[in-house]
Amino acid sequence: MRPLYGKGSVALKRASEAVAEFRLPATLDLNDRLSTIFTNFAVMKILFVGDYSGFHASLAEELRRRGHQCTVVSDGSTFMDTDRDITLHRQPGFVGSVKYLYNACRVIERLRGYDVVQLINAHFLRLRPGRLSYFLNGLKRNNGHVFLSHCSTDYYYAKAMLAGNVLEYSEYGFDGRQTEFTLHCSDTIDSWLLPVNKVWADTLYEEVDGAVSALYEYHKVWQPIFGDRLNYVGIGVDTRRLAYSPIPAGGPLRVLVAIKPNTAPNKGIRLLHKELRKLQERYPDEIELLVAEGLPLNEYLRLADSCHVVADQIYSYTPATNALQSMAMGKVVISGGEEEYYRFIGEEKLRPIINLDPRHDNFADRLEPILLDRADLQRRSREGRRLVERHNDVRIVADRLLSAWERMAK
């Protein structure tokens, strides 16, 4: 296994110099002692390839604060326009594909000498598996360790969700019922299940030095495959940048429906929007309904900050980026919040999320007493902020990531 920090590197030198001033617990063995030294002192060059909803961008920003040199290569999470250092964006059509491939070749070839490379998922560039293999080989040849993030779908995730033997429900269906995703995105699902995507996933899993998961669902799917080569880190939220605003005792309740055009069917958000409209019609003076569709991230966060409740999704067991950022600002979220998720993260007390099990209909009737109970909403608002601070603050997630890299590099 390659060392995480190259022999004679600046990182190794600085770590060695720091040993004299850093007192380690006597109970740590040699490997753990080295891990602690590197995690706390070494400066690394880190390359993040691809991004979803700013997952890599937020980690890069936090790691830069600690002195690491980070580069993010992405398309800015498409319409979200998240932070990145190098933009690789694919335009539609044949010409757009050719330009994208040309730019990817130019960019990836220049990315050399990084201690760590982390790929956003199996399809870290918008290319077919054969071409992805070429870029993976180049990244491995010219850099140090290569790790994989499990932040989205690939062959094995789609297969597991369709089989229904990992989770009791998902966007892929439940109890023999179809969802908006399975009804309207069958071509997308079929493409994930192509044999070439299985071959590519098998190849990639063997080639990377390990993987990290962002959500409970992803961890459940990939843990049997990766074993101890998979580490949960979660999604990082910079709570220093997102100010908390409590829900007022009176006045209309402002409910924001967050629609991402490319993932709306996966999340069931249009169905949830329909149910919320019923509630708004019942209580026109008490509930104000707003819709945000396809907004850049910073613009979206400004709008969300003016609201009290954020409708995120119904098919997830766990809150993802939108829900976590909203909770950090004191918003009550309608999102994934199953007991399996709380047990997975070790949370025994806080229960801020309005969890709508999609196996039960009548969303409007189920939401009505919750949204009209202002005192309970205020409780959820406070607990939501505490939940993010406790489990998803980007400083905590960055610590988990550095520890995971160190363990997997051994």
pLDDT tens track for 105-139: 999 999 999 999 999 999 999 999 989 999 999 99
pLDDT 10s digits, 354-380:
999 999 888 999 999 999 999 999 999
Indicate whether 3 pLDDT > 50: no
Indicate whether 226 pLDDT > 90: yes
Cβ-contact 257, 224 below 8 angstroms: no
- pLDDT on residue 25: 33
- Listed in order, the ranges of the chain carrying CATH 3.40.50.2000 are 44-236+394-409, 253-391
Indicate whether 172 pLDDT > 70: yes
- pLDDT on residue 13: 36
What is the mean predicted confidence (pLDDT) over 211-225? 96
Rounded-to-integer distance, Cα 312 and Cα 260, Å:
10
pLDDT 10s digits, 374-397:
999 999 999 999 999 999 999 999
**What pLDDT band is residue 11 in, cutting at 50, 70 and 90?**
very low
- What's phi and psi for 402, nearest 5 deg? -60, -40
CATH topology of domain 253-391: Rossmann fold (3.40.50)
What is the mean predicted confidence (pLDDT) over 337-362? 95
Q: What 3-state DSSP class applies to 311?
A: strand
Q: Could you give the residue ranges of the DSSP H alpha helices within 253-393?
A: 264-267, 269-282, 297-305, 321-328, 339-345, 363-371, 374-391
Rounded-to-integer distance, Cα 54 and Cα 74, Å:
10
Give the architecture (CATH level 2) of 44-236+394-409: 3-Layer(aba) Sandwich (3.40)
- pLDDT on residue 37: 36
Backbone φ/ψ region at 76: left (φ over 0), alpha (ψ -120 to 50), beta:
left
Q: What percent of the chain has pLDDT over 70?
A: 90
Residue 180 or residue 303, greater confidence: 303
pTM: 0.87
Cβ-contact 270, 236 below 8 angstroms: no
- Helix/strand/coil percentages in the chain, nearest 5: 50, 15, 35
- pLDDT on residue 81: 86
- Mean pLDDT, the chain, rounded, equals 89
pLDDT 10s digits, 243-270:
999 999 999 999 999 898 777 788 889 9
Cβ-contact 295, 303 below 8 angstroms: yes
State the DSSP code for 165: S
